[in-house]
Structure 1
Amino acid sequence: GKTTTSINVAAALAEDGARVLLVDADLRHPSVAHHLGLEGSAGLAHVLSGQMSPKDVVQNYWKPTLHILPAGKRPANAGVLLGSDTMRIMVEQALTQYDYVIIDTAPLSVSNDGIVFGRWAKGLVLVTGRGVCEKKELKEISESLHTAKVPVLGFIFNYADSKKTHSKSNYYYYYEDAPRKKSHKK
């Protein structure tokens, strides 16, 4: 759900008139171009390896203010490229041209790329799903983010079980049981 969420947030911001760049930084399993039906053979990996410039690979999508930087071909050294000064400088430059730069990374259970970007951005939005990420794994990711001093700016929980919502608030209870009502003995 992280890629779908990234795409939908980018589209919503662009529809509201913001200038948005969506970067597919999941170099291990790129999917943004595929999801959007865009050409994805050239992209971020080519920019980071010095083969192309961003203007050669950034594509316009749907709205004039929505631009997509596909991942390109899978490189052998994804972590090195994504943690490079070239990537940091590219993001800094993009932030001068766009109102929002949304970076879709590999899952934190696969790599620490999200932590690197979270440090640069001073936080991240964590996307997870019921039945996709186990509680133990989510706790380990949370501890890693805390250790790295990367704040979670937001949390999106996909595939929630509607039976576990509080009737008045629609908040999802992450733990097995909802809070129990206090009984008052007379």
Structure 2
Amino acid sequence: MEHGQGAGEAAAGQSSSATSEPERVIPLDLEHLERHRIVAFNKHNLISSVFDLLRTQVLHKMKANNWRTLAVVSPTEASGKTVLAINLSMSIAHLLERSALLVDFDFRRPSVLRYLGTQSEKSLHQYLHGQCTLDEVLIHPQLPRFSVLGNREPVANPAELLGSSRTENFLQELREQNEERIVLIDLPPLISADDALAVLPRIDCAIMVVANGLSSEQEVRDSLRIVRQMSSTQLLGTVLNKSRDEQIRNPYGYTGEGA
């Protein structure tokens, strides 16, 4: 299995034994996942097909451009970006020829581990500060070809860390290390602080999650402008997180750039 082995070993000037130690598979609770709208883990859940469709659209564009890192962004909080990032990662991991590494860069409000119902020994921000090895952060949930780098606790004022050379080297190594792996990065909201702006130019492409009725039209326009101004980051499209009444059949609508 691939599972992000050795990812970013030199990013914090440390070596990691991720290539030599056996993977520690973390069991997942299906009921917990579905309570938190994580449905792509279970292929029998009808809504999982929505993320498979999004996966196909996203991977088609990424493959055509040799992109391997994908940011998931939103204008404001509570837009559903983390839920989408987890579901899309799981959907990609179901493909036999692909693997998915999900990175939680929303340091102020990390939630990936909470949504999965699990924990890691250490946090990603500790690794980037050189305080632990990658093995202490990297977890392999109960799904082949899916791995996670998360944070156990919030970090104050993380823009400096996200914009540091350590983070830049870390992302570059993640991108180059495995041609079959897609690295999905859950970023902070674009409007609330400059955290996402510090790291977004170092990521190949992005999709934006907009919650229906939550973000104002001006906030959406401002967020689109921010992403498009990052000349090195291509916006693949926008995902509309629909109203609760519509979620029963199809919780997301996707509009590709130029569509």
Output the TM-score relative to the length of structure 2: 0.58
Residues 1:40 and 1:110: Cα distance change in structure 2 (over 3 Å):
farther
Considering only CA atoms, is the larger Rg found in Structure 1 or Structure 2? 1
Partner of 2:223 in structure 1? 141
Give, in whole Å, the separation in 2 of the partners of 1:4 and 1:140.
Answer: 23
Q: 1:125 aligns with which of 207, 211, 224?
A: 207
Aligned residues: 166
- What do residues 40-61 of structure 1 show as CA deviations (whole Å, max 9, x unaligned)? 5622111111101222210001
* Deviation (angstroms), 1:118: 3.2
2:159 equivalent to 1:159: no
Residues 1:171 and 1:105: Cα distance change in structure 2 (over 3 Å):
closer
Q: Check conservation: 1:45, 1:73, Cα contact below 8 A.
A: no
Q: 1:6 aligns with which of 67, 73, 85?
A: 85
What are the equivalent positions in structure 2 for 1:46-125 lying under 5 Å apart? 46-95=126-175, 96-97=177-178, 99-125=181-207
More deviation, 21-30/114-123 = 114-123
Give, in whole Å, the separation in 1 of the partners of 2:103 and 2:223.
Answer: 22
Output the TM-score relative to the length of structure 1: 0.79
Residues 1:41 and 1:28: Cα distance change in structure 2 (over 3 Å):
farther
* Deviation (angstroms), 1:72: 3.1
> Which has the higher relative contact order, 1 or 2, with Cα contacts under 8 A spaced 6 or more apart?
2
* Deviation (angstroms), 1:125: 0.8
More deviation, 23-32/142-151 = 142-151
Amino acid at match of 1:71: N
Which has the larger helix fraction?
Answer: 1
Residues 1:88 and 1:72: Cα distance change in structure 2 (over 3 Å):
farther
Percent of aligned pairs sharing the same letter: 26
- What do residues 30-87 of structure 1 show as CA deviations (whole Å, max 9, x unaligned)? 0000000111562211111110122221000121311011123322231111111111
- What do residues 73-124 of structure 1 show as CA deviations (whole Å, max 9, x unaligned)? 3222311111111112112222213611000011112233333443212321
- Structure 2 segments unaligned to the other structure (5+ residues): 1-79, 247-252
